[in-house]
Amino acid sequence: MIATPDPERIKAICKRRRQWYMATCIIGPLAVVAYFQQISSGAHGRLPPFAWAALLVSVAAVVLGDLIWRCPACKARLPRGIAPTPHFCPQCAIPLANPSERTWAGSKGARRFGWVLIGAYAIILLAGSILLPSRRHRHYVAGGRGAAPVFTQPNADDVTHLRRQLGEVDRLLAARYAGAALHASSADLSLLQRLVDECRRKPDQTLELQCLGVAFGNVLAREAEMHWIMVTDEYGRGPALQYESSSLIVFPLTMISKRVDAGEPVDLTRLLAAMRALVKQHAREADPASRTL
């Protein structure tokens, strides 16, 4: 003799499962929002650890929601989303809810769910915009909006750090090409290009690419008549190259890495030529007499 399931017990179980399922409906999208918030603010070339955690949580919420929201009697999948609990199981037709109960869409629980979801999204977005660093790249400083950047000469610690980054490039060269060395001239471009092409084929090479950016900056400083300065602005403090005392500022530290991250080709010879042309154009615009030549 097969025991008949107690309808009231089935309804009670279904109600509890509905609550747990709705929790996964909240956690899953929140985890997705946190994931994209992290990858939009994380370091280039690598995924922040918290982004991995958020991704795993979102996947786990989907899997758990699928396992939880099933008929207690026949284990058939029930309709997804925030629709009200079906009165009967579509598979075995066992009662799952009382027809006299108010539909979930217009209930107090539905309104509470909506406000909780909106509030949680707002908190994550607000916290991310305040606490997480920006991923924007700086290009040229020429009277942009916001707080004015502060330009200073590199101090002893700044020079030491730049030399350490150049030393990393020397180490990379020595490990691959015997006798190769940097000379801070256009003769370095072929060696730097080979290292760039090699680094871009490997994951998590942001630091190496930034070191190569410093080495390219040394070439640019000599070939385009620029000099190193330190820039402190809303994004922090970092090295840059300045043409004379003008507003033309370039940031070689990320000049290579940002192009690699964007999937763009990196041709250092063309990049140097473009920077030279930019300096010449800036010099002509700054000197009215030169425009008549």
Residue 40, pLDDT score: 56
**What is the chain's mean pLDDT, rounded?**
77
Has this prediction a pTM greater than 0.85?
Answer: no
Q: What percent of the chain has pLDDT over 70?
A: 72
Residue 36, pLDDT score: 67
Whether residues 156 and 266 fall in one domain: yes
- 266 φ/ψ angles, rounded to the nearest 5 degrees: -120, 110
* CATH number of the domain within which 220 lies: 1.20.120.1090
Cα torsion angle, 259, 264, 266, 272, sign? negative
Tens of pLDDT, residues 61-101: 888 888 888 888 888 888 777 667 787 888 888 888 877 66
**How much is the average pLDDT of 281-286?**
80
Domain end position, chosen among 131, 160, 185: 131
Report which of 201, 209, 29, 221 is spatially closest to residue 125, judged by C-alpha positions.
Answer: 29
Whether 88 is in a domain gets the answer: yes
Whether residues 95 and 157 fall in one domain: no
CB atoms within 10 A of CB 117: 16
AA identity, residue 74: C
Tens of pLDDT, residues 27-59: 777 777 666 666 655 444 445 666 677 778 878
Residue 165, pLDDT score: 92
Strand 236-243 relative to strand 150-152: parallel, antiparallel, unpaired? unpaired
Whether 109 is in a domain gets the answer: yes
Whether residues 160 and 269 fall in one domain: yes
* Contact criterion met (CB below 8 Å) for 50 and 34: yes
Angstrom distance (rounded) from CA 286 to CA 280: 10
**How much is the average pLDDT of 227-241?**
89
Domain residues for 183? 150-292
Whether residues 283 and 164 fall in one domain: yes
CA distances from 139 to 47, 220, 273, 275 (A): 24, 15, 17, 12
Whether residues 49 and 109 fall in one domain: yes
Whether residues 200 and 126 fall in one domain: no
